[in-house]
Chain A
Amino acid sequence: MSHAAPAAPPSVPAAAPRTVALLAEFDSPGALLTAAELVRDAGFRRWDTHTPFPVHGIDQAMGIRRTRLPWIVFAAGLFGCTAGLVLQWFTNATSAADAPGLWTIFQGYNYVISEKPALSLPAFVPVIFELTILCAALAAVIGMLAMNDLPRHPHPLLALPRFRRVTSDRFYLVVDADDPQFDPVRTRAFLRQLPHAVAVEDVPEDRSSAALPRGLVIAITILVALALLPPLLVARARLSKTTEPRIHLIQDMDNQERFKTQQAGPFADRRASRPPIPGTIARGDLAGDAHLLTGRLGNDWAATFPASLAIDLPFVQRGRERYGVFCAPCHGYGGAGDGIVSQRALRLNTEGWVQPTSLLDQTVRDRPVGHIFNTITNGIRSMPPYGDQIPPADRWAIVAYIRALQRSQNARLEDIPPHVQADLR
């Protein structure tokens, strides 16, 4: 280096950067391995090799000890496993009753599904497995990067032009100046005599700024600010009170243009609801034959059949057929209250079962036909109403058949036609 002629003022920038390491370049992995063993055996401690790919055998050649990363991964996997189990147990197998003091947002929701166990380990396994793998993988990556002290951007080696081939086809051995055995002259001479070393070079200190480029910092700041906006808006909404209606983005069919009952409307009478048109009859209001439809004559039960019905054999047979469909299961085919439903209920000791009334009892025989008709229509005590299932004419037919049944269990020989009497004697 030539000397500058005039003396410079003291505020001139400093001298050349100091050397932080010495670098030796090789062009094959074999040469690097040989050199690494020599450097290892020479007792150097703060040194490293840099290669485009992991060289087979370099760990032994350098004396690198096995990393503890697998244990970190294992611990993270255990954490993931436990987290999966606790999450599912807490959210699906506990309920508000189990933790009454807990905030609503943290209370569990126990799905009750036809006696299936709430804490069902086989069903919980997939999520536990996935969370284990996820936590272990994150630990492997983050652990590896952290243990390698990455990301690390300003690096003296990366500023060296010669070092650019480290990711292509050259192999480097670098001894740090902090090494206790380091000596600028001796270590350089030592490196130069390593077999097949292509070059030996000083690695100067890297004085470049570690800061990110300004444009990038601005971009990241803007993105972070935008990303914080939604949570802030949510927080503001949760923490404030307002009389404004909710912001309702997806309307669906929630708010429809319509008039509610008793609201003022657009029609001439200023009502929104319209009155029924003239001639409208309310349900059950039909001014028909009260005798036929209700079994009443005035305020009393009718004691006779309606005049519009012909009480003949086909009518009673229809009644018998309808009785067999609707009434026989409980009251029995003979009307004695011993239908198969009743027999079964008694055999099962069904709670609260009362045996159906025997239609042959004197009480029922004494009842007017209109009363029996009303019982069929509206039910009585535990008997349900059958008015919706059986039309009025059929109900009267059943009443006629009941009278026939009652007569059949309460007859004298003289009531039977003579030509049948002979068979009974």
Chain B
Amino acid sequence: MAAHPVEIDNTWERPGERAPLVTGGHTFASLTDTVCAVWEAPRPPRAWYIAFTISVALLAVFGAMIGYLIINGVGVWGLNNPTGWGFDITNFVFWVGIGHAGTLISAILFLFRQKWRTSINRFAEAMTIFAVMCAGVFPAIHVGRVWLVYWLAPYPNQMAMWPQFKSPLLWDVFAVSTYATVSLLFWYVGMIPDLATFRDRARTRLKRIIYGLLALGWTGSSRHWHRFERAYLILAALATPLVLSVHSVVSFDFAVSQLPGWHATIFPPYFVAGAIFGGFAMVVTLAVPARALFGLRDLITLRHLENMCKIILLTGLIVGYAYAMEFFIAWYSGNPFESFIFRSRALGPYAWAYWTMIACNVLAPQLFWFKRIRTSQLAMFLVVMAINVGMWFERFVIIVTSLSQDFLPSSWDYYRPTAVELLTLAGSFGLFFTLFLLFCRYLPMVAMAEVKTVMPHADPHAHPHAHVPATRRFDYNPDEFDQEPPA
């Protein structure tokens, strides 16, 4: 694991030459060593322990807050009439949105043949799984009678009751469950060859058994690789419309209602772009420290980070456009309720949240027009932290401003979160980071098999021992091989 005092800059573009995606002159063996070093080290780095302690503490807070909520009821939150949804659904949409970037990197960038995705797709998919787990907690605990949440599933029962399939809340159940399942399958299947690497390098019997079981007996057979690659392509092609549909269905929770500010057809593409935007911000938030901490600078290079910043800039512009379009339509439609709610967002009781959102989501990413910012790790880390905050506030603004000032002015009320809600939000980060740190320590963080395919050594026509195609059919005469040649 070589320490690089100076970052290798592979962000140049020269005609006729391709910038290397793996720097540092790695061979297949050294690449395997680098990635496995994270797992093989007798102890993880000290920073891992510190981060893990904090995460577990937050996770304990999460558990405590949820227990307190279930025992005492939803009254411990600050929800009121008319603001029936507050931090709970904001957190749900926030976490689901973060998960989408992982699937985009895995599936959509795969379909677009973006080779640079291979270094980051494994931990981005892990981020998706853990984000969806965090997200799934919130709809479950916000229902009030959490022990009856199984009523959301269509199972035959003695009440002859079935869920209301025409409700977006139920579409959500199916969409998020399907998304969690398919992401998990995609992540695990992609990991099988790398788990086999761990199995082959395991030094203790317990590790050999565990990783051997997880690797399912993978031998790297080309016949198996053929079907594996087809299955991977099919999963990528399925996951792409899935990720678009999931956040569209989440946006339907709002768009299918009648509230001014919610009832807008722009919501599905706006939410999907916002999810990718926020998710990539979280990927960069994780990638910048992880590559330094775990010695992955040669795999997750400046070029990878710069590409991610460019995608963040693009999706940030889409989100900014959506904000502007909402305002335009609110005015152009002539609907007094719609234009009121948008004026209220910018100038009303939650203006502080609105302008935080604008500053973080519209202004901050504009810094990525400058290459110096895109290639500076500290600058990009600050910008993406702002975006994480801004994306949370975007969901908060959408949900709470429209609800707190709904149809009847006599019903209006200001929503204030309680300490329980704030601690629950913080605790969800504990769940996320605990799982992510465990993943870093015990599972292959980088898709070694995929990264190897984008190295120059993987090209059969590269030196040494370039592939010499058979120019004529080789006539095999067994008698020519009667004896063993001299040893």
Contacts and interface: CB of A to CB of B under 8 A. Distances in A.
Answer yes or no: do A and B interact: yes
Interface in B446-475: 448-450, 452-453, 457-462, 464-470, 473-475
A207 B36 CA distance: 30
B197 interface: yes
28 contacts: A38-B470, A41-B476, A48-B223, A58-B225, A67-B226, A67-B227, A92-B164, A104-B160, A105-B156, A111-B166, A127-B171, A130-B177, A136-B238, A143-B231, A144-B189, A144-B230, A148-B223, A148-B224, A148-B228, A155-B219, A166-B220, A167-B196, A167-B448, A168-B29, A168-B32, A185-B481, A185-B484, A186-B482
A47 to B, nearest CB: 10
A82 B249 CA distance: 20
B217 A53 contact: no
Interface residues of A, number: 98
Interface string B165-187: 11010110011011001100110
A32 B473 CA distance: 17
A390 interface: no
Contact of A41 (B182, B186, B216, B473): B473
A53 B185 contact: no
B201 interface: yes
A147 B227 contact: yes
A137 B181 contact: yes
Interface string A114-153: 0010001001101101110110111011011101101111
Interface string A371-403: 000000000000000000000000000000000
Contacts of B194: 167
A131 B234 contact: no
Contacts, number: 284
Contacts of A73: 234
Interface stretch (A191-199, A317-325, A413-421): A191-199
Interface of B: 27-29, 32, 145, 147, 154, 156-158, 160-166, 168, 170-171, 174-175, 177-178, 181-182, 185-186, 189, 193-194, 196-197, 199-201, 209, 212-213, 216-231, 234-235, 238-239, 241-242, 245, 249, 252, 448-450, 452-453, 457-462, 464-470, 473-476, 478-479, 481-485
Contact of A52 (B156, B178, B220, B239): B220
Nearest to A109: B162
A33 B460 contact: yes
A187 to B, nearest CB: 7
A18 interface: no
Interface string A43-79: 1000011111111111100101011011001000000
A124 B165 contact: yes
Nearest to A49: B222
B222 A169 contact: no
A43 to B, nearest CB: 6
A358 interface: no
B476 A190 contact: yes
A66 B223 CA distance: 10
B22 to A, nearest CB: 13
Contacts of B28: 52, 168-169
Contacts of B164: 92, 111
Contact of B460 (A30, A96, A126): A30
A134 B178 contact: yes
A88 B228 contact: no
A178 interface: no
A264 interface: no
Nearest to B157: A105
Given A138-B185, A168-B197, A54 B229 contact: yes
Contact of A193 (B32, B165, B170, B485): B485
A53 B449 contact: yes
A30 B174 CA distance: 47
Given A38-B474, A168-B200, A67 B230 contact: yes
Given A136-B234, A147-B227, A164-B201, 7 more contacts: A41-B475, A64-B223, A69-B230, A105-B158, A126-B249, A155-B219, A169-B28
B48 to A, nearest CB: 25
Contacts of A189: 481-485
B460 A29 contact: yes
B158 to A, nearest CB: 6
A34 interface: yes
A87 interface: yes
Nearest to A67: B227
A289 interface: no
